[in-house]
Every structure is written in structure tokens, then in C-alpha cells.
Amino acid sequence: SETINKIAAGEVVERPASVVKELVENAIDAHATAITVEIKDGGTSLIRVTDNGSGIEKDDIPLAFLRHSTSKIRTADDLYVIASLGFRGEALSSIASVAQVELVTKTASDLTGIRCCVEGGKQTVLEEVGCPGGTTMIVRNLFYNTPARRKFLKSDMTEAGYVNDLIMRLALSHPEISFKFINNRQNKIHTAGNMQLKDIIYNIYGRDITANLLEVNRRSSTMEISGYIGKPLISRGNRAYENYFINGRYIKSPVITKAIEEAYKNFVMVHKYPFTAFHLQMDTSLMDVNVHPTKMEVRFNQGEEVYQLVYRTIREALEGRNL
């Protein structure tokens, strides 16, 4: 099963940024209000994610590292009404099979915390420690036992850049959470928590973008869109500025990307791709996030309704009139 875990890890853990994504999503699911991500050497030698969330019960610690073990889903039907970010129970077991993992955690009701180390999928340390409430996950020497995979990583700077982009999007999708990102001991991102989406955009992208936003807000029969889009003068040569979130989750959807880019057609832009940062809220039964292990892609039951809502909302805002 170590082999199976290593294979599964290939789907969940592609690079340091995928580890950070899984660990931060776990922190969000644990209702953390402050999350610190620290990496060294692009995340290859060290990734540390600290949260002030619920912590993990002592008895649940061995389970957390078991494949397909999750505390977030109880019946097969739950799979279709997923609200939490994680639910496959694959992340920690996958990460632990390709790196050295240290976990320090304490629940609010426990007086002492637990420190636990896992290497090659096997627990090597389990002891009581004093620590604050919440969870710290430390991932060292990613892919130390899978050199072929390590070879596919880009330079430390590029890998750190991927992590930076990820934290930016996570901060955008959760203005209520305080995020801190430290790269090689340097503070890169710090958001205060309890913020409005517009404040986060300012914090992350600065004054030029924030001064050129249009607010969007619209409902259809089964979904709602709200957030900001950039005036056509804000654009990029790639899709780095196209952010959208569904039920709080950063995702990729060809349907939404197409709706955005079609809506900006015929507007003069410096580059091809616009700035967007908006949220879509819909019943979880209308979508399927179960397409890929990294949960980045989503499929809609009502693709046409999603397309129309996004397209019309943006078009209307850009033209400054009701369509």
C-alpha cells in the first residue's frame, strides 16, 4: 500500500504548491482564522503551515494519515453535497509517502498537544508537547524518495512563485482569514483577516487595479455572482489575473473562462486577458468537484446558466447598462 500511496501522491502532490494547497485547505476546513505558510528553497526543503483551527483529536491522528480516511464525509451520499474543501482523505497520506512530515496539534479542550512524525508513511515519533491550539504541519524534503518526480520541479524561485500565486488566490477567496506567507524568511504576503474583498484586492494587487474596478452582483434562479471585474484597461498577457471562486473554492472552469473572455470581446484591451475576482454561490448539488484529485476543476449540471450569468453580468457592467 506504500506503492499505492506513492502513485496516488503523484495525482495530488505534483509540486510544493500542491502540498501547500492541501494543507491550507485543511486549515480552512478546521475553521482557522489565521494561517501562516512558510517555505524554504521553493518548498523543497521545508513547508510549514500553521493554523489556529480546531486541532486534531489525539485518537484521530493515526487516522489522519491513512489513505481514504477523512473526518469530513460519513456516507456515500455526502459526496454529492460537499461543502468542505477536502473530502477524499488522500492528501495527508499522499504527502506523508513522499516527504518527512511532522505534525503538532492541540484541540481547545486538551491541555497538552501532540507531536507526531511520519516518514515513508510510517509513524516514527508520537509524544505530548506544550503548544497553542491549532495545527502545525511541517513537510521536509519533498520527493526525497521519488527522485524522478523531484527532477520535474522548476527552479526554487519559480516554485516559490507558484506558492505565492496560490496564497494570493486563497487570500482573495477568504477575506475573513488572515494569511501570512514567508519565503526564505522574508515576509511576502500578509492580510489582516476580517476584510472586504475590495480591501484584499488592494492589499494584493495595489492601487492601480483597485482604482479601476467595477462591482458586479447578480442573481439567477439558482445561483448568485458577486465581486469585482477590472475595466478593460487592466489586462494581462496570460490568465494570471482571472480569479473566480465557487462556494469559496478557487477553481478552473472552461465554461467560466469562456464567458469572461467573450464578455470582454470588442473592448479595447492592452493585453488579451482581463482582471476578475468574483464569487459564485450555488447549491453544491449543481456542481461536481469530484473530477480530479486536486479538485481544481469543476463540472456544472447547468453549464449554460453559469455561462449566461457570468457573461451577462460582466457585459452589463462593462457597458454600464442593463442587458
Binding positions for ligand ADP, rule: CB under 6 A: 22, 26-27, 30, 51, 53-56, 64, 70-72, 86-92, 135
Residue 114 φ then ψ, to 5°: -125, 140
Q: Pick from ligand ADP, Mg ion, none: which does 89 bind, CB < 5 to 8 A by kind?
A: ligand ADP
Q: Pick from Mg ion, ligand ADP, none: which does 51 bind, CB < 5 to 8 A by kind?
A: ligand ADP
Which H or E run contains 126? strand 122-129
Kindly state the smallest distance separating residue 294's Cβ from ligand ADP, in Å. 12
* Rounded Cα gap, residues 82 and 6, in angstroms: 26
C-alpha cell at 248: 469559496
Which residues are registered as beta bridge partners of 181? 37, 189
C-alpha cell at 206: 495595489
SS3 state of residue 237: coil
Please report, as ranges, the residues that interact with Mg ion according to CB under 5 A.
26, 86, 91
Which residues are registered as beta bridge partners of 119? 100, 122
Q: Which is nearer to ligand ADP, 86 or 121 (CB)?
A: 86
Residue 76 φ then ψ, to 5°: -60, -35
Kindly state the smallest distance separating residue 26's Cβ from ligand ADP, in Å. 3
Q: Pick from ligand ADP, Mg ion, none: which does 30 bind, CB < 5 to 8 A by kind?
A: ligand ADP
Q: Which is nearer to Mg ion, 91 or 160 (CB)?
A: 91
Kindly state the smallest distance separating residue 319's Cβ from ligand ADP, in Å. 42
Contacts with 152 (C-beta within 8 Å, 6 or more apart), sequence order? 14, 15
* Rounded Cα gap, residues 189 and 171, in angstroms: 9
Q: Which is nearer to ligand ADP, 46 or 214 (CB)?
A: 46
Q: Which residue's Cβ lies closest to ligand ADP?
A: 86
Q: Which is nearer to ligand ADP, 26 or 191 (CB)?
A: 26
Kindly state the smallest distance separating residue 137's Cβ from ligand ADP, in Å. 6
Q: Which is nearer to ligand ADP, 54 or 235 (CB)?
A: 54
Q: Could you please report the per-residue DSSP string of 312-323? A: HHHHHHHHTS--
Kindly state the smallest distance separating residue 159's Cβ from Mg ion, in Å. 21
